[in-house]
Every structure is written in C-alpha cells, then in structure tokens.
Amino acid sequence: MSIVRLSASRCVQLFKCRWWISSGSSGVSKYFPITFWAIRLEKLLQHMYCTGALDRRSAIKVSYYRGILTSRFAQEYPVGLGMLAVGLPENEVHQYITTTIRMFPNPQLSIGCINRPKSVTITGHEDQIMALNELLDEDHIFARKLAVKVAYHSPILKKIVPEYIAVLGNLSNNDNPEIVHMTSSVTGEATSFEELRLASYWARNLTSPVNFAQAMTRLCNLQEIDSIIEIGPHSALQAPIKESIRTMKKEDLVDYTSALARSVPATESLLNAVGRLYCRGHSMNLSTINFPYGSATPGLLHNLPEYSFDHSRTYWRESRISRDYRLRQQPFNPFLGFPAPDWNPLHAIWRRKIRLSESSWLKDHKLQPRNELRKTDNSD
C-alpha cells in the first residue's frame, strides 16, 4: 500500500478535488445529517442542494465541472490569475483599481465579491493583482492574496461558458424538494427553483460578481430569522455574516454558528452547532442525534459471579486523633460541650462555644448592657 502526502496548496490545485472543497457541493455531504436529524432550514443563501432544487447528482455536476473547466483554463491561460481580499467598501476600491489598470495595456481587474459593507474581493490577472496589492500596502490598507489560481467571478471566464453550459445539460431536482426561501448571492434577490435548474444561471454565477453583503442583508431583514448556520468545509463566511448582523443591529436577535470548522473534528463542530440551535428553541430529533445507530434497551447481566474482595488487610493508617474524633465515646454535653480532639482520660479537656441562642440562662449574667461570664463561672 502506498501513501501519498499532499500539501494544502497542492490539494487546492487538484481540479478533480474541486467538487469536494467547493462551497456548492460541500453541503451535499454535510447537509445529510441535518435533514436526517429533522432540522428544517427555512431560509437559504446560495445553497441550492439544501432547497432540493437540485438532486445530489446535479449538485455535484455543477461544482465538479466548474472545477475541471476553471482549473484547465487557468493552466492554459497565458498569464497567472488570482484573487485579492481588500478591506475597503466597493465605492472606495474603484479608484485603486482605476490607478492600477492604467499601468497595463490589457487591463483585467474587477470586483469579484462584495463580501460585507467594508470588504471586497478583487479578481483578475495575477500581475495586476500584485500591483494593486502594493498600492494598498502603501496606504496601509488591508489586502491579502487568496490561495487560488483562478479568477473566479470574473469576465475572463466567459470563454469557458459555452462548454460549461453544454456539459451541465439538464439539471434535475429532488423528488420531494423543500419549499423554502432561497436568496441568490448573484442577484441578491429571491430565486425560483426553475432558475436554479438552468445551466445559464450557474454560468452567470461563475462570471458575475457575487454580492454576498446585499443577499445577507436581505436575508437578515426577514423577521422570522433568528439563527444562521453556515454549511460548508469551514466557517469562511463568519466575519461577513457577523458584520452584516452588527450593521443591522441584530446581535441580540440573530445567532450564528457553523457546521464545520478547520482543525476541529467534524462530529464535535456539527454537534456543537446543533446544540446551539436546540438551545434557541429549534425543533429536532434528539433521539436520532444521540443514538445514530438506533436506541435499544440496555441489557443487564444478572448472573455474574460475586467478586472476591479481600478485606483482611487495610492500607489506611489513621491517626489516633482522627480515629478518636470520628468515633467519639462521649456525647455532647450542653454545659461542657465535646471532648477535645486530643482527648486524654488522665487529663480530660472539653471544648464548648457558648452562645446566647443555645444557653438562655446566660441572659441573666449581665454587667450593665453586656452579657458576661465572670472568672468564677469558669470550670477547670
């Protein structure tokens, strides 16, 4: 048996793994436990499989061919491609893009994703991405190059659209699709099941900017939304989701959790997410969650032989003071109290804390306003 070790960057480059790591199909496998546990998702954002608009085969096909075609296109493209996350609003980043593209004869730089009100992702040629990164660094503006070799959500990918539509062909839905509200991150509006089954929709998703912030705002404005669960290989959208919630001042009304998190066992993260949903009052099948293989009445063994405990030896060396205190021979005396812990019959010592609540006769021993015991009242 041979073992192949792959670095994380290499796994991202393997186009045949694209269907597994993509946000579109990662939910195909991760969504199964949620439906099996009778947790109903009411509103969805860019997750066509959870709606039932696409069946498992179609959902995997959408993402699998997307990975194959984009990876092949990036390898054959004459220059490198990439994406850059920028900590600026959409209207402020345009001036930096304009300044950058003036340096190149073939400008290929555009906004690919509007993640949150003050964060966008730029997509295009890698050399132009790096030039933009330098401009932003000079002005001390956050910018980070993403670990991808494809310019997703860019007009550059329009060259593969005809082939993409052809290989997708006819997409089919589940036999019993869920009737839920689906918001598209491409249009920022509600999307019908019929549109999700069109290959042209997924081609537009590939080449058009994604306005996640607008779609998230629309979703959170729905009055019945009180919990958001991210279904994907990692909580990659945690920051934009929480910022959208803060922008609408709904931190106390809407809770966020993620089904999976990097470096956290899947079982632990998924059960934590489900636990948060349960604590907020959402219905689910707890029996199925706690007993995934079925619950049975535990069997009891009544005929086991008795264990032969050996009490002939003891290993506890108890001190005399401890033993005498634990097994006191003298009871409590209302006048003398208890024998002292280091009791010695030849020199008996008793200890008693005298309290007015326990000895009412002391109330008559007064010296002016205070109760006192004179030395003549003490006993040796």
Residue 273 is part of a domain; what is its CATH number?
Answer: 3.40.366.10
Q: Which two tokens stand for residue 291?
A: 């007993």
Is 252 a domain residue?
yes
Is 121 a domain residue?
no
Strands of the sheet with 109-116, listed across from one edge: 109-116, 119-125, 81-86, 143-145
Question: What amino acid occupies position 256?
Answer: Y
Q: In 90-145, where does DSSP find H-type helix? A: 90-101, 126-138
> Does residue 183 contact residue 219 with C-beta atoms inside 8 Å?
yes
Shared domain for 181 and 57, answered yes or no, is yes
Place of tokens 């003050």: 118
Domains contained in the chain, number:
2
**How far apart, in whole angstroms, are the C-alpha atoms of residue 235 and residue 229?**
9
Shared domain for 222 and 361, answered yes or no, is no
Query: 189-245, pLDDT tens digit by residue?
Result: 788 888 888 999 999 999 999 988 888 888 877 767 888 888 877 888 888 888 888
Shared domain for 175 and 253, answered yes or no, is yes
> Looking at residue 178, what is its pLDDT?
63
Q: Which stretches of the chain score pLDDT less than 70?
A: 1-40, 42-44, 46-49, 175-180, 223, 295-296, 367-368, 371-380
Q: Is the full-model pTM beyond 0.85?
A: no
> Looking at residue 176, what is its pLDDT?
66
> Looking at residue 135, what is its pLDDT?
95
Shared domain for 34 and 164, answered yes or no, is yes
Is 2 a domain residue?
no
* Number of CB atoms found within 10 A of residue 61's CB: 21
Is 307 a domain residue?
no
Is 232 a domain residue?
yes
Shared domain for 164 and 266, answered yes or no, is yes
Shared domain for 75 and 219, answered yes or no, is yes
368 lies in which domain range? 320-375
**How far apart, in whole angstroms, are the C-alpha atoms of residue 72 and residue 155?**
16
Is 142 a domain residue?
no
Is 155 a domain residue?
yes
> Looking at residue 36, what is its pLDDT?
61
Shared domain for 203 and 255, answered yes or no, is yes
> Which of 235, 260, 285 is the C-terminal boundary of a domain?
285
> Does residue 233 contact residue 258 with C-beta atoms inside 8 Å?
no
